[in-house]
Amino acid sequence: MELFNLLLSHSGTRRYLRPYLASLLFSTRCLLSYEDWKNTHNSEKFILPATTLEVTRQLLVSLQRLECFAIEDVSSKPLSDDEMKKMYHERAHVLQKLCHKYHFEEMSDVVYAGVGMVCKEGFLRKCLERVEGVEVLVDLCHRLRLVDRETVERDFGMLGGELGTENATRSRVKRFLVQVLVYHHTIKPSEARRLRELPLYPNESLLWDSNWVGPMEGGQGGLSKVLPKMSLQFLSFSDYLLRCFKLLRLESAYEIRSDLVDVIWRMRPALRHGYAHDMGYGAGVDEDDELKKKRSMTEFHGWSRMGLELVDDDGVSPVRLIKVSPPKLGESIPAEVLAEFTIDLKRCGESIRREWDSIGEFDNLFLMGIDAASVNGGPTSMLEEMKGENKYGALADDMNFPKRYGIIAVRGCMVLEVRDEDGNVLSDPSYQPVKSDKPKDTIKRYFKVALDPAQYAADATGKGSLFGLKVYQTLNVVVRRHGKENNFKAVLETVRSLMTGEGSINRSIPRWLQPVLLGYGDPASASFQSKKMIHFAEITPGVTPPDAALDYGDTFVNESHLRSSFEGNVVVDGRKDCDESKPQTRLNYRIKIDCKNGESNIIATSYPFLPDVSGNPVPFTPVQVKAIRSGLSPGLTMIVGPPGTGKTDVAVQIISNLYHSFPSQRTVLITHSNAALNDLFEKVMARGDIDERYCLRLGFGERDLQMETQFDFTKTGRVNHILSRRLNLLEEVQLLSESLGISGSAERGPDGSPSYTCETAAYFYLHHIQKRIQIFNNQVENDHLTASIGELYPFGKYFNFSDSALAVLTLEEAKKSFERIQTIFDELAEYRPLELLRSQKQRIDYLLTKQVKIVAMTCTHAAIARSQLIQLGFQYDNIVMEEAGQMLDIETFVPLLLQSGEIESMSRLKRICLIGDHHQLPPIVKNKDFSIFSNFDQSLFARLIRLGVPTIELNMQGRSRADIAELYNWRYNNLGNLGHISTDNKFLSCNPGFVHTYQLINVNDFEGRGEYSPTPYFYQNIGEAEYAVALFQYMVLIGYPPERISILTTYNGQKGLIEDIVSQRCGNGTPLAGIRPQSISTVDKYQGQQNDYIILSLVRTKSVGHLRDIRRLIVTVSRARLGMYVLCRQSLFAQCHDLKRVIDQFIKKPTKLELVTGEDYNTQRKANEQIPSEKKFVIDDVTVLGSIVHKMQQQLIS
């Protein structure tokens, strides 16, 4: 059945398999067979494990939904809800005709009913079950070509063409035929409707359902799984979004479960003293009183900074429902469910209190019901859980955790408002806290929250909880999560909204891209050189035609660089050869490439380079130039960037060229992380040729931008900058007016502010400035002119020109000054709408939708903000995505849909540029079931490469020494080194104090101990941690700058241990007090960053662990520029076949650290220079290195 599900999910096999399964009535037979097995579970002969039965049921449900999926089998055309209804209504109409003609008396209810009623399962089943004879049902199935008589006789043992008379046989036949007719005629709920009725917050049932949310390392052995799979192809965008939604929901549920388990484990719920023998409540006890007593029986012996016990203010329930809005028209769940609860921060410390007070509007919280009386066997003590390594496995993977800790309910909610006891709204961003010295008995916070309406509807019917709506009276704990991990609801809402509005996807995404995204058609059809894209360029406004020149701007540092970047005949400004006699000045270029008869003719035309700007400092390689050309052309550009090959520089150049070439178009920048986005945005602004008023940074990382400017790039910062700029320009207008004698200082405001507005400035320009310029031009053109240019020039006083300056003023200089004046009024014209828009929000929305040309955000923020951007009418023409290989498939897909497509027009999107490296780490998926079984960690970037979409792979790295680059360049096609790697002194010089530039250092057990796990999956190795810190201290003591050193490890546990040791060894009172490496991080978090020297701890001594993934290994060995020192258990990693290519290069060098005595950081020695043996010192183990460091510190003190 799992195989059939997979085959039905691909259109190529579906068109053959689905009709065949339908002819066999496969789904109906499986359903009846499952029910028979389930009904006979008490029989030892037929018994099946409960898990197997549940998996079978889920596989069957999945099979039925795929069979009825809204798509045509042959053409693979998606069908709308109306088209599906029409198909089922036609089937119902045929059934009514047959019933009227042949079985009117028995089926009169069906004949007279509307087709809508016939298509309802309850009505049709009721009508069919009332029919007494099975002959009627056999005849109907036969005439509808569903089941013939021979099949019935064969399957149910009826011989001779006559239906048997045994009641058992007739009952089985009738049950079978009724199910066949019902399955064929009833309309199945659409997937979009099912999603609308599905809670976005996970409840206790989903969180601890091992069939859906299994353990982190995967489980259930060879048992089939019902999880959807992210394959290469999808039936439709609806199918794609449905799979993404389910996997996103399950992955977020796993992460939520881990956080909730950690909080409850730390709070240690227990039965209150005195209630141990009072477990009964007696007859006739009020249900509310019973629940109140149940809550009072639970107390908490521990604490957690992320969880608090609720305060029962009214004595009825800590969580009070205050509003349940009726469902909207056509829906079945409430429109809104609001509730209130209270917490008391009196017992919390100041830092924890600030954390709870930082909870703002739209943050997600979880309410939990903990009943210590329902604990099964009592919670395992903290000490017992700590014994042994992984004795009990991870608590988050313990499916019996709710029973052991008394968890009876979990409900999610979204914060709408937080108030204190004085009624102040703490969640208001404008609220400023007032310090009060008056002590208080309580520090209460009142939360107003929105509950999940779908979950409330399920609770009301008893499907969500056995307690019904009383479940909200059982909630007594609130849990918060870190903001970075708590965006799941907004992302799920975005995907669900896309499901319900699938038609807008077809309008938002260009038609030339849709088959490529779904995995069909020619994978090269979206490339800029394909015939489809050439035709698209010919008919689309705002796209450079195929026969026109592309504006490369300042891509080339000089003419020689341009000529070396292309193959073929290069003609620059009409010259076939470069004029070496003249100095090569910086110019911008427009280039036309004409390919005829297999020959390339490159025709370049120069134009002046912008003065007073930095521009592009990078001499791009020919492959990088090819990538830039593709990025400027319409279509899909896929750039594979190995480590150190300048992916970000290429992205910045594409963005700049798009900005200058198409000034009316908007470009969106997307990255996976805030750090990468800030780096990209800083490089864009550092060029100096992009006006900062056209740039905007969205999201929570916007404050981290380190720009050399007094303005910030947040939405509020942009508005404030523009308002300030407006005042400065109006002051210039005022000065210009006063210089012409049109107005004086008396017209200024009381505070000396200019009297002009943007509107009056426009009139001033029209009636006074243009008039004077026109008069000047007419006088200059007069052939009988006797006066000089300076005598006619009208703005000499404004520019403070002296008489001597006016006397030598040229016509060209005068016209340039006119352009400067016009620039002032042109810029003011852009700010004029801000005078009409008074609120800050209106101004921000205007900037976002009308003015800015470059908008930057992370993929997560794009998913969160999509609905708001759609409502504002946000539009864009180009999108550039960095770190595309680290984004989930859906995280790359959603940014393509930040604008709504108009019904009668094609998509506005013209260029899509994805930049990444699928050979490095994939998207992070914590649960292995979802990554391995469901392939959820497959990025869209990697999927398109696997489908055969053409890519441009950058082939020259400029980050690492040549010998360090050899550790990873084998993974790529012909990855070479840039010229400076073999010429720059820093790459040719040694690492002072070290014999080798890189080395694998074998670390044996330290004090009889290798790797260990204080808690499950929290791996540490004290020997490697001590070695790493001692090596860092040694490097600092001989003069290495600490900011040029990073310590990396492969596990969070080891990272924390290293941080603790650094704090001790370099803490207050030590010779190296306050000195820390530039970063202490895990390899996964450090992807996209690099440093000169890397100290790496691999931690594991018993098994290789997740470093077995070759992609993680590539990231690991490509972070260092000049030196890398790896601490590990050599015998373990050398035996791993997956790592052999890299480890073999490492073990060519000695596996004990070799130092050079008498050297410091300023020592000048070539890396290939021979070192006398007497100057070499071999470090046997960490104790030897530690003693050396100790002596050096003592010398430093003395």
Tens digits of residue pLDDT in 964-976:
999 999 999 999 9
Amino acid 286: pLDDT: 66
Assess whether pLDDT exceeds 50 at residue 379: no
Q: Give the pLDDT confidence score for residue 711 in this predicted structure.
A: 55
**3 state SS of 107:** coil
75-89 as b/e, with b when 16 or more CB fall inside 10 Å?
ebebbeeeebbeebb
Q: What is the mean pLDDT of residues 86-92?
A: 95
Confidence band, pLDDT 50/70/90 cuts, at residue 1088: confident
Residue 89 predicted with pLDDT over 80: yes
Read off the amino acid at residue 1127.
L
Supply angle C-alpha 891, 894, 898, rounded to 5.
140
Q: What is the largest CA-CA distance in the chain?
A: 124
DSSP 8-state code for residue 935:
-
Residue 395 has pLDDT above 70, yes or no: yes
Pairing outcome for strands 1176-1178 and 1154-1156: antiparallel
- Contact predicate 253/213, CB 8 Å: yes
Predicted confidence band at 278 (pLDDT cuts at 50, 70, 90)? Answer: low
pLDDT for 981 = 94
The pLDDT tens digits of the residues spanning 575-585 come to 888 877 677 78
Instruction: Compute the distance between CA of residue 866 and CA of residue 780 in angstroms, rounded to an integer.
Output: 56
pLDDT band at residue 394 using 50, 70 and 90 as cut-offs: low
- State residue 499's pLDDT score: 83
Read off the pLDDT of residues 63-77 as tens digits, 9 standing for 90 and up.
999 999 999 988 889
Per the structure block, which two tokens stand in for 490? 């907004």
Low-confidence winner among 114-123, 658-667, 894-903, 942-951 (lowest mean pLDDT): 894-903
pLDDT given for residue 681 in this prediction: 82
- pLDDT tens by residue, 149-162: 888 877 776 434 44
Mean pLDDT of 669-683: 88
Alpha carbons 561 and 781: distance in angstroms, whole number: 43
Distance CA 225, CA 223 (A): 6
Answer left, alpha or beta for residue 573, where phi above 0 means left and psi between -120 and 50 means alpha: left
Per-residue pLDDT tens over the stretch 538-554 = 888 888 888 889 999 99
pLDDT of residue 539: 87
Per mean pLDDT, which range of 20-29, 285-294, 847-856 is the poorest? 285-294
pLDDT at 901 exceeding the cut of 90: no
Closest by Cα among 981, 957, 1033, 994 to 1125: 994
Strands (E), 680-728: 695-697
Of 97-101, 306-310, 741-745, 986-990, the range with the lowest mean pLDDT is 741-745
Asked if residue 282 has pLDDT above 70, the reply is: no
Residue 411: CB atoms within 10 A of its CB come to: 28
Locate 1056 and state its tokens.
Answer: 């924390």
- State whether residue 252 is helix, strand or coil: helix
pLDDT class of 378 with cuts at 50, 70, 90 = very low
Neighbours of 442 (CB within 10 A): 10
- Element (DSSP H or E) covering residue 1145: helix 1140-1146
Residue 49 — pLDDT band, cuts 50, 70, 90? low
**Mean of the pLDDT values across residues 1065-1086?**
93
CA 544 vs CA 512, 566, 908, 1193: distances in Å: 17, 20, 15, 65
For residue 438, the model assigns a pLDDT of 62
C-alpha–C-alpha distance, residues 19 and 1, integer Å: 16
Given a cut of 70, whether residue 18 has pLDDT beyond it is: yes
Q: What is the mean pLDDT of residues 1012-1026?
A: 90
Regarding beta strands 444-451 and 998-1002, do their DSSP bridges make them parallel or antiparallel, or are they unpaired? unpaired
- The predicted pLDDT at position 294 comes to 73
- Backbone angle region of 409, left / alpha / beta, with phi > 0 → left and psi within -120 to 50 → alpha: beta
Q: Which of 82-86, 389-393, 937-941, 1192-1196 has the lowest mean pLDDT?
A: 389-393
Q: Which two tokens stand for residue 196?
A: 């609308």
Cα 674 from Cα 653, distance rounded (Å): 20
* Predicted confidence (pLDDT) per residue in 904-931, tens digit: 457 899 999 999 999 999 999 988 889 9
Residues 744-766 have a mean pLDDT of: 89
Query: Checking DSSP bridges between strand 878-881 and strand 911-916, what pairing results, if any?
Result: parallel
Least confident of 220-224, 828-832, 892-896, 1089-1093: 220-224
Distance of CA 907 to CAs 509, 510, 536, 654, 878, Å? Answer: 6, 5, 12, 21, 11
Token digits of residue 1096: 């790496």
| Residue 896, C-beta contacts closer than 8 angstroms, at least 6 positions apart | 508, 509, 513, 879, 909, 912
Does 274 score more than 80 pLDDT? no
- Average pLDDT on 189-206 reads 90
Q: How far is CA 918 from the centre of its chain?
A: 16
pLDDT value at residue 389: 41
pTM above 0.75, yes or no: yes
pLDDT of residue 381: 40
The answer to whether 427 and 379 have CB atoms below 8 angstroms apart is no
* The pLDDT of residue 388 is above 70: no
| Whole-number pLDDT of residue 701 | 62
Strands 334-344 and 307-311: antiparallel
**1021, pLDDT greater than 90:** yes
Q: How confident is the model at residue 166 (pLDDT cuts 50, 70, 90)?
A: low
Best CA proximity match to 848, nearest among 826, 871, 880, 879: 871
Token pair belonging to 797: 């006083």
- Mean pLDDT in residue range 491-509: 82
- Residue 1074 in this model has a pLDDT that exceeds 70: yes
Return the pLDDT at 838: 83
User: Would the pLDDT of 434 be above 90?
Assistant: no
Confidence category of residue 692, pLDDT binned at 50, 70, 90? confident
The yes-or-no verdict on residue 1107 having pLDDT over 50 is yes
Span 400-419, pLDDT tens digits: 899 999 999 999 999 999 99
Q: Which DSSP symbol is given to 766?
A: I
Residue 1081 is predicted with a pLDDT of: 95
Structure tokens, 359: 């909870």
> Of 1197, 1160, 1195, nearest to 994 (Cα)?
1160
| Mean pLDDT rounded to a whole number for the chain | 88
CA dihedral 752, 756, 758, 764 (to 10 degrees): -150
Give the pair of three-digit tokens for residue 1073: 């007090």
Count of residues for the chain?
1198
Helix, strand, coil percentages (3-state) for the chain, rounded to 5, are 45, 15, 40
* Tokens matching residue 1181: 């183990």
